[in-house]
Structure 1
Amino acid sequence: MKKHIYIYSPSGAVRDKAAFRRGVKRLKTLGHEVEVDSDALRSHMRFAGDDDTRVAAIQRAADSGADVALISRGGYGLTRILDRIPYKAISKAIKGGTHFVGISDFTALQLALLKKTGAVSWAGPAVCEGFGADPLPDDIMEDCFQDLLLGQGEGAGWRLPAGNRSDQIAEWGCSSATLWGGNLAVLVSLLGTPYFPEVKGGVLFLEDVAEPPYRVERMLTQLLHSGVLARQKAIVLGQFTEYKLTPHDKGFNLRTVTQWLTSQLRIPVLSNLPFGHVPTKVLLPVGAKVDLVVQGRDALMAWGHI
């Protein structure tokens, strides 16, 4: 079934034009109508156009009437324009059937949108890093995206890693918890601002890229000391990639971080969610109510038809 996909650039400038072209071509190959925003390939310093240009692009995405408003890439740029984003227009578009999808820097818009309107958006691929993968995008990611377009996505299941405390949970579950989160560094940057959702009893999912374990722990510590983590029903860690350990770490790694975090909380800390800056990723409804069930090393997050 052909769907209308609107591609726009609210954050960093598209440097990899080849990946962008591959992404557009792939979406067309899947049978969709692809509309590219007039400023999608603009460049101003590190941004996809100046602030006015990117705010206008977000407004056009909201006005597009598309089935999906899909970002070209992440990068950096949304936090500096959060006070100018047309949240009501985006919320109205979502009610009208437009799904806003993105990753990385897009976390800032998603969390601010949730705080301001309560509207549900989707953590998922971008054009360049997702559909522009060479030679082909990941099958699971594409299937999840197609399920979203067809209204068939009901949840995500994954296998917890062996050897840490998360696999000691014989059976656990929660229901009707607000799913929220995204990129850890972007989320932490919103603490103390009017754009940080004060979610209680939620399921918080986190991922990041190019952040070594000690910096991941430092950001998690900030969330811990601010009381954010203890107010949740569960913490779900996605993929943390493209970092380097050094001899100075002396065995301090991501597993160390996970074990430490688990020891600080009375709620489950679940790892290995297939989401992040990786080819294989599910799409996650930020702001939706979810059920989360753990049996042994199997985890299932379900949200039904949204």
Structure 2
Amino acid sequence: MKKHIYIYSPSSAVRDKAAFKRGVKRLRALGHEVEIDEAALATHQRFAGDDATRVAAISRAAASGADVALISRGGYGLTRILDAIPYKAVAKAIHDGTEFVGLSDFTAFQNALLAKTGSVTWAGPAVGEDFGAEGGADDIMEACFDDLLGGQGEGTGWRMPARDVDGLAPLRGIHGAVLWGGNLCVLTSLLGTPYFPSIDKGVLFLEDVNEHPYRVERMLDQLRQAGVLARQKAVILGHFTGIRKVSHDRGFSMKTVAARLRELIKPPVLTGLPFGHVPTKVLLPVGAKVEVAADGRDVFMVWGHRHAH
């Protein structure tokens, strides 16, 4: 199943060149044609080239005709250029069959594109941290990526942590809800801008890295107080990693944050989604309509057949 994969860098500069090379090598070993953008390894301050360079890279990715446009890495940089992204060209590329895939800072691109055009992109791996992982690419991540390439991926399922199931009623009534979200910090930074999707009765998924639970709670409160969370049919929490606890937390944790959120909003709060800055991640269609059901610890999310390359 040979596919054309276009690798570009819309955010931070690639600092781990070895991981980037391993990722490219892995994708080629899987039989794919890998095309690397001319500015993929560019550097300007902390970015993969200046703003104009990165906008041009997005334009080249849209014009590549590739099956998948895959980011080299996340970091920071896309919120700087949201005013300049060629949304119509990207939407046309998606309509013509190019799937845009990424995570972390890519959340800004995904939600801005959703707000502007309604186009579906995929929350998923990056070249360096996933395909180029030092210990090898994760099998589940690769299988989900293969499903995307083959047009086979139609949903996902997972088990919530046992501690989060107490008092949670079986959930079977979510149908045709738009899946959206991504990195909590990046998404919250879009609130109040034209790049924040106005989605009611959606399914909002969130993850983050290197954010203490109190910062996570503060951002969730901002979304809650802005009325965003109450308008959703469900809020789904993925992985929140890289947390550095301190002695005066005195038990305050992500468990505390999730429990409080459940008390404050009516939509169900589900946890354990296999997505975030972790090796084992599923691919999620941002902007697609999904169905969600939960029974005990078992959660299922289905989006049906998206396309066929």
Normalising to structure 2: TM-score of the pair?
0.98
Change (3 A) 1:66 1:119: same
Secondary structure of 1:300 counterpart: strand
2:105 maps to 105
Q: Separation in 2 of the partners of 1:165 and 1:300?
A: 15
Partner Cα distance (2:44, 2:171) in 1: 51
Match of 1:23 in 2: 23
* 1:1-306 alignment, distance < 5 Å: 1-165=1-165, 168-306=168-306
Give the drift of 1:135: 2.4
**Cα displacement (A) at 1:167:** 6.1
SS at 2:82 equivalent: helix
The whole-number CA distance in structure 2 between the counterparts of 1:215 and 1:122 is 26
> Is 1:37–1:57's contact at 8 Å kept on the other side of the alignment?
yes
Q: Which letter does structure 1 place at the counterpart of 2:10?
A: P
Q: Structure 1 16/81 Cα, relative in aligned 2: closer, same or farther at 3 Å?
A: same
Instruction: Name the amino acid aligned to 2:228.
Output: V
Alignment check: 8 A CA contact 1:200 1:231 kept: yes
Instruction: Note the C-alpha offset of 1:171.
Output: 4.0
The 8 Å contact of residues 165 and 262 in structure 1, kept in 2 or not, is answered as no
Residues 87, 117 of structure 2: 8 Å contact kept:
yes
**1:213-243 alpha-carbon deviations (Å, 9 max, x no partner):** 0000000000000000000000000000011
Please say if residues 155 and 304 of structure 2, whose CA atoms lie closer than 8 Å, have aligned partners that are also in contact. Answer: yes
For residues 138 and 296 of structure 1, what CA distance do their matches in structure 2 show? 27
Q: Tell me the CA shift for residue 165 of structure 1.
A: 4.7
CA distance in 2, matches of 1:288, 1:168: 26
DSSP-derived class of the 2:162 partner:
coil
Q: Structure 1 unaligned segments of length 5 or more: list them.
A: none
d(CA) in 1 for partners of 2:167, 2:86: 43
Secondary structure (helix, strand or coil) at the match of 2:55 reads helix
Q: Distance in 1 between matches of 2:167 and 2:94?
A: 37
* Alignment gaps of 5+ in structure 2: none
Letter in 1 for 2:3: K
CA contact 2:165–2:297 (8 Å) conserved in 1? no
Matches of 2:164 and 2:101, distance apart in 1: 32
For residues 110-165 of structure 1, the C-alpha deviation after alignment (integer angstroms, 9 at most, x for no partner) is: 00000000000000000001100012100000000000000000101000111235
Q: Structure 1 residue 295: deviation in Å?
A: 1.1
Q: Deviations over 1:87-119 (max 9, x none)?
A: 000000000000000000000000000000000
Secondary structure of the corresponding residue to residue 84 of structure 1 = coil
Separation in structure 1 between the aligned mates of residue 207 and residue 186 of structure 2, nearest angstrom: 10
Is residue 294–residue 300 contact of structure 1 (8 Å, CA) maintained in 2?
A: yes
CA distance in 1, matches of 2:304, 2:290: 8
| Structure 1 CA distance for aligned equivalents of residues 35 and 90 of structure 2 | 18
Equivalent pair of 1:166/1:270 in contact (CA under 8 Å): no
Q: Which amino acid is the alignment partner of residue 94 of structure 2? A: I
1:176 aligned counterpart, secondary structure: strand
Matched AA of 2:272: N
In structure 1, give the amino acid aligned to 2:154. E
Retained in 1: the 8 A contact 2:211–2:242? yes
Contact 1:165 1:259 in 2 (8 A): no
Aligned residues: 306
Q: Take 2:166 and 2:142, find their aligned partners in 1: how far apart are those partners? A: 29
TM-score of the superposed pair, with normalisation by structure 1: 0.99
